[in-house]
C-alpha cells in the first residue's frame, strides 16, 4: 500500500491544487472526465473542495450501465421471464430501472438472475447448468469487452450450445468526438479514462484528438494523478494548445494491449450504437461478428432492434450524461429518484453521476 | 406495482431502515421501540435492564476469525454493551436444515459455549427447529440477551466538541466473509474481527470515562452508524479519513474491488462518543488492551445542527459521508 499512499499525500495534493488554482487565474475552465471511475474518485477524495470555483469538472457518459438503452433492458427483462433461461450479468445491471421494473425486481419474483464479476464465470455456469439457456448481458467499454471476447472464443472452441451473449459493448473514442464538438458543452479538455486506455493505448485517441484539437490527458485514479492531469489541461488550455498526454504511463502504453485489441478485432465488428442520452453514435458499438454470431442472443430470441429513439422517462439523465446539467437540476433528484429507488440509470451504479452526487452532497 | 422484499432490505442500509420504520415499528409501536436502538432499556424491580435480540444467517458459517456460533454470542453481547449494559443471560434458538452434519453443529455450539463462558454470561434457554432440506441454508441462529445497565447512554447526551473514538481497524468482518465467499485466493490474511466488547466498555465505565454514547458499527459499517447517530442527535459529525485505522490487507482488497472500507461491516468494533476532556484518557485506556492497540481518535461532533457526516479525505479534500445504500458490490469497469 505504500505505493498507493505516495499518490494520496494531503500535502502534495493541496500544493498541486494551489498551483492549479494559480494557473487558472481569473478564467473559467470546463473539463470533462469521461470515465465513471474518475467521477467516483473525484468525489471520494473530495477534489472539488480543493479547486477554485472557476474550474468545473463535468461528468461524462462513462458509466456502462448508465448509457445502456431502455430497449436493451426491456429485451433483457423479456428473456429473463422466459422458461429455462438464466440471466448472468455484472452486479450493477441488476438495479437499472426501465419501465418501472428492474432485473432485481424480476429476481425477487422468481426469475433466475445471477451476478458475476467476470465473464468467464459465465462459462462455468453454462457447463454446470446444461439444461438451461444462459444469457450473458455483456455491457461495458473497451475494458470489459475483451473478457466477453474470451468468453465467445472459449464457447466456440468448447462447442457450448446453451450460452448466448446479449452484447451492448461500446467504445469511448467515437463518443469523445460528439462531446468535444458540442457547442453547449464548450469543453476545455478531457480527462481520458485510465482503464480503457490500458486496452486501446495512446494510439486509440490520436485520430479523434487530432480532429478535436483539445487538451486531453490519460489519467489514473489517485488524487495526484487526477490533479496533475487537471494542471496539464489548464496550462495547455490557457495557451490554446492541443496536447494529448499519457499521465498514467505506469500502466498505459502507446499501442495499448495488442492482444486485447486483436481479440476485439477477431470477435467484434463496429456498428452504430444507441447510447442513452447521447443518441446514436456512429461506429461506437461492438457487435459479434461471424463465426461468433451463433452466440448472439438478438438472433436466438428474435429481439427487437434497439433502434434510434429512446423512451422519454421524465428524468433528465440525458442532460446529466452529456454533462449539460448537474444532477440537482433534475426535479426528481433526491426526491423521487434516490439510490434506493432509482428512476434513471445514473442513480444506480457508484460510477453513475447522480449517485456520486447523491452520496457526497 | 406490487412490492417485494429484496436482499437490499436486509443490508442494514437505507432500505432496512425504511422496512423497520414502515412495517415493524409502525405495527409494534411503543415508547421503547420508538428509539430504534440496538437494544432497549427497560425498568424492572431491582434496576434497569437492557434487552436485545439478533438472528444470524451468515454464509459461510465458518469464516476466518470465527464462526456463526461465536458471532451469535458476540453480536448480542455487543448490542447490550453499546447500551452500557453488562450481559447477564442469553437465549439461543437454532433453525437447522435437514442433513446438516452433527459434527459441525457440535463445533459451532462449543464455540458459542466458549464465548459465553468468557463473557461470564449464561445461555439459560433455547429452542431447536429442523426444517426439510432446501427450506433453510444449513444453520440459522437467533440469540436474545438481557443485561444489567451500568450507565444510561443516549444520543441526546452527545454535545458539540465530543470526540469520536474507535477501538481498532475497520472493515475486517465484512471483507473476511466476502473473501471466503468469493474464494479470493491469497486473501487468507483477512480475519474477521468478531469479538465481544463488554470487556472494553466495562473498562471505560469503571474508570469513569465521560462516555456519552456508543454504537457498534456492524452492517453498513462506520458510515451507517455515524449517519444514524448524526440524525438522532441532530449535530453534524466530522471524521478524519487519515486517522481511521484499517489493516494493509483490508485496504488493498477494498482498492481492488472498489469498495469503501467505511461502508463495510465490523463485528468487534465500537464507536465511542466521549466528552472532549476525557478523550485522551479514553484513548489511553483503550490502547492498554492488547486487542485494541490500534484504537484511534477519528473525529468530533460539530456545533452545526445539520445531521451531516463530513469526511476529511486522506488527500486533503472534504466531502459528505453518506449512508451506504446497497450491499457492497464490486465495480464492473
Asked if the C-beta of A351 comes within 8 angstroms of chain B's C-beta atoms, the answer is yes
pLDDT band at B182 (very low <50, low <70, confident <90, very high): confident
Domain boundaries, chain A: 24-312, 317-360
Chain B contact set for A105 (CB, 8 A) = 4, 6
Asked if the C-beta of A290 comes within 8 angstroms of chain B's C-beta atoms, the answer is no
What integer pLDDT is reported at residue B333 of this predicted model?
34
Could you read off the pLDDT of B118-156 as tens digits, one per residue? 999 999 999 999 999 999 999 999 999 999 999 999 999
Asked if the C-beta of A186 comes within 8 angstroms of chain B's C-beta atoms, the answer is no
Q: How far is B99 from chain A (nearest CA, A)?
A: 23
Could you read off the pLDDT of A186-236 as tens digits, one per residue? 899 999 999 999 999 999 999 999 999 999 999 999 999 999 999 999 999
- Name the residue among B95, B87, B96 with its Cα closest to residue B38: B87
Could you read off the pLDDT of A235-262 as tens digits, one per residue? 999 999 999 999 999 999 999 999 999 9
Chain A contact set for B248 (CB, 8 A) = 1
Q: How far is A287 from chain B (nearest CA, A)?
A: 19
Least trusted range by pLDDT, from A81-90, B130-139, B181-190, B241-250: B181-190
Chain B contact set for A64 (CB, 8 A) = 332-333
Closest residue in B to A49 (Cα–Cα): B317
Chain B contact set for A340 (CB, 8 A) = 8, 13-15, 18, 325-326
Q: Do B322 and A8 touch (CB under 8 A)?
A: no
Closest residue in B to A90 (Cα–Cα): B332
pLDDT over 70 percentage in chain B: 95
Q: How far is A196 from chain B (nearest CA, A)?
A: 9
Residues within 8 A of A (CB atoms), B 88-127 only: none
Mean pLDDT score, B164-183:
90
Q: Under a CB-based contact definition with an 8 Å cutoff, are residues A323 and A185 in contact?
A: yes
What integer pLDDT is reported at residue B188 of this predicted model?
64
pLDDT band at A176 (very low <50, low <70, confident <90, very high): very high
Phi, psi of A64 (to 5 degrees): -55, -40
Least trusted range by pLDDT, from A332-336, B235-239, B310-314: A332-336
Could you read off the pLDDT of A306-345 as tens digits, one per residue? 766 655 556 777 788 777 888 888 888 888 888 777 887 7
Indicate the angle between helix axes A145-157 and A119-128, nearest 10 degrees. 30
What integer pLDDT is reported at residue B331 of this predicted model?
37
pLDDT band at B186 (very low <50, low <70, confident <90, very high): low
Nearest by CB to A140, from B1, B6, B333: name it. B333
pTM (predicted TM-score): 0.84
Asked if the C-beta of B252 comes within 8 angstroms of chain A's C-beta atoms, the answer is yes
Residue entry with cell 451469535 = B72
Nearest by CB to A108, from B5, B329, B330: name it. B5
Mean pLDDT score, B277-289:
97
- CA count, 13 A, side-chain hemisphere, B51: 7
pLDDT over 90 percentage in chain A: 63
Question: Domains along chain B?
Answer: 1-36 (no CATH), 38-149 (3.30.1330.10), 155-320 (3.90.650.10)
pLDDT at A350 over 80: no
Chain mean pLDDT for chain B: 91
**Does B60 sit behind a cis peptide bond, omega within 30 degrees of 0 on the bond before it?**
yes
Strands B237-240 and B296-301: antiparallel
Mean pLDDT score, A140-146:
95
Could you read off the pLDDT of B97-114 as tens digits, one per residue? 999 999 999 999 999 999
Q: Domain A24-312, what architecture? A: 3-Layer(aba) Sandwich (3.40)
Chain B contact set for A195 (CB, 8 A) = 333
pLDDT at A86 over 90: yes
Could you read off the pLDDT of A21-58 as tens digits, one per residue? 999 999 999 999 999 889 889 988 999 999 999 999 98
Strands B211-215 and B139-149: unpaired
What integer pLDDT is reported at residue B1 of this predicted model?
58
Amino acid at each position: 500500500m505504500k505505493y498507493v499512499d505516495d499518490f494520496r499525500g494531503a500535502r502534495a495534493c493541496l500544493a498541486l491544487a494551489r498551483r492549479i488554482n494559480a494557473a487558472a487565474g481569473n478564467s473559467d475552465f470546463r473539463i470533462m472526465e469521461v470515465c465513471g471511475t474518475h467521477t467516483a474518485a473525484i468525489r471520494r477524495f473530495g477534489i472539488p473542495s480543493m479547486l477554485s470555483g472557476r474550474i468545473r469538472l463535468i461528468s461524462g457518459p462513462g458509466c456502462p450501465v448508465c448509457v445502456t438503452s431502455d430497449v436493451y433492458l426491456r429485451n433483457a427483462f423479456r428473456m429473463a421471464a422466459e422458461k429455462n433461461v438464466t440471466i448472468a450479468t455484472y452486479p450493477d445491471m441488476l438495479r437499472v430501472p426501465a419501465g418501472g421494473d428492474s432485473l432485481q425486481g424480476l429476481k425477487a419474483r422468481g426469475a433466475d438472475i445471477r451476478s458475476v464479476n467476470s465473464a468467464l464465470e459465465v462459462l462455468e455456469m453454462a457447463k454446470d447448468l446444461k439444461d438451461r439457456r444462459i444469457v450473458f448481458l455483456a455491457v461495458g467499454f473497451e475494458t470489459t469487452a475483451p473478457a466477453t471476447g474470451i468468453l465467445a472464443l472459449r464457447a466456440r472452441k468448447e462447442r457450448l450450445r446453451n450460452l448466448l451473449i446479449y452484447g451492448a459493448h461500446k467504445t469511448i473514442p467515437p463518443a469523445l468526438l460528439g462531446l468535444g464538438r458540442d457547442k453547449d458543452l464548450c469543453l476545455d479538455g478531457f480527462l481520458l479514462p485510465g482503464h480503457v486506455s490500458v486496452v486501446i493505448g495512446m494510439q486509440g485517441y490520436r485520430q479523434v484528438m487530432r480532429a478535436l484539437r483539445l487538451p486531453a490527458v490519460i489519467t489514473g485514479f489517485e488524487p495526484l494523478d487526477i490533479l496533475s492531469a487537471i494542471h496539464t489541461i489548464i496550462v495547455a488550455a490557457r495557451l490554446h494548445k492541443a496536447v494529448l498526454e499519457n499521465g498514467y504511463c505506469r500502466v498505459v502504453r502507446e499501442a495499448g494491449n495488442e492482444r486485447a485489441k486483436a481479440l476485439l478485432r477477431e470477435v467484434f465488428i463496429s456498428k452504430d450504437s444507441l447510447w442513452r442520452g447521447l443518441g446514436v453514435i456512429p461506429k461506437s458499438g461492438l457487435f459479434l461478428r461471424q463465426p461468433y454470431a451463433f452466440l448472439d442472443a438478438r438472433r436466438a430470441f428474435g429481439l427487437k432492434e434497439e433502434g434510434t429513439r429512446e423512451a422519454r422517462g421524465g428524468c433528465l439523465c440525458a442532460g446529466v450524461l452529456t454533462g449539460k446539467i448537474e444532477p440537482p437540476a433534475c426535479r426528481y433528484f433526491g426526491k423521487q429518484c434516490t439510490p434506493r429507488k432509482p428512476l434513471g440509470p445514473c442513480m444506480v451504479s457508484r460510477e453513475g453521476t447522480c449517485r456520486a452526487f447523491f452520496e457526497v452532497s | 406495482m406490487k412490492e417485494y422484499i429484496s436482499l437490499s432490505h436486509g443490508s442494514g442500509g437505507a432500505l432496512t431502515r425504511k422496512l423497520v420504520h414502515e412495517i415493524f415499528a409502525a405495527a409494534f409501536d411503543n415508547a421503547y421501540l420508538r428509539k430504534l436502538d440496538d437494544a432497549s432499556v427497560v425498568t424492572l424491580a431491582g434496576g434497569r435492564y437492557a434487552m436485545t435480540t439478533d438472528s444470524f444467517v451468515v454464509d459461510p458459517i465458518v469464516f476466518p476469525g470465527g464462526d456463526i456460533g461465536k458471532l451469535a454470542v458476540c453480536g448480542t453481547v455487543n448490542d447490550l454493551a453499546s447500551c452500557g449494559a453488562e450481559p447477564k443471560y442469553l437465549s439461543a434458538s437454532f433453525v437447522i436444515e435437514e442433513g446438516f452434519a452433527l459434527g459441525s453443529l457440535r463445533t459451532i455450539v462449543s464455540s458459542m459455549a466458549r464465548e459465553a463462558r468468557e463473557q461470564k454470561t449464561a445461555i439459560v434457554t433455547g429452542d431447536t427447529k429442523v426444517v426439510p432440506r432446501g427450506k433453510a441454508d444449513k444453520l440459522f441462529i437467533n440469540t436474545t440477551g438481557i443485561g444489567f445497565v451500568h450507565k444510561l447512554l443516549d444520543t441526546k447526551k452527545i454535545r458539540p466538541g465530543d470526540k469520536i473514538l474507535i477501538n481498532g481497524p475497520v472493515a475486517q468482518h465484512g471483507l473476511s466473509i466476502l473473501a471466503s465467499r468469493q474464494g479470493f485466493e491469497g486473501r487468507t490474511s483477512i480475519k474477521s474481527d468478531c469479538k465481544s466488547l463488554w470487556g472494553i466498555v466495562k473498562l471505560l465505565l469503571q474508570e469513569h470515562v465521560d462516555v456519552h454514547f456508543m454504537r457498534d458499527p456492524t452492517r453498513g459499517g462506520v458510515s451507517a452508524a455515524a449517519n444514524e447517530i448524526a440524525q438522532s442527535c441532530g449535530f453534524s459529525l466530522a471524521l478524519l479519513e487519515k486517522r481511521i485505522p484499517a489493516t494493509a490487507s483490508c485496504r488493498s482488497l477494498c482498492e481492488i474491488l472498489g469498495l469503501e472500507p467505511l461502508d463495510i461491516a465490523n463485528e468487534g468494533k465500537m464507536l465511542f462518543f466521549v466528552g472532549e476532556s476525557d478523550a485522551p484518557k479514553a484513548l489511553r485506556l483503550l490502547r492498554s488492551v492488547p486487542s485494541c492497540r490500534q484504537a484511534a481518535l477519528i473525529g468530533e461532533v460539530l456545533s452545526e445542527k445539520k445531521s451531516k457526516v463530513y469526511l476529511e479525505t486522506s488527500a486533503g479534500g472534504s466531502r459528505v459521508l453518506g449512508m451506504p445504500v446497497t450491499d457492497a458490490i464490486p465495480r464492473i469497469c
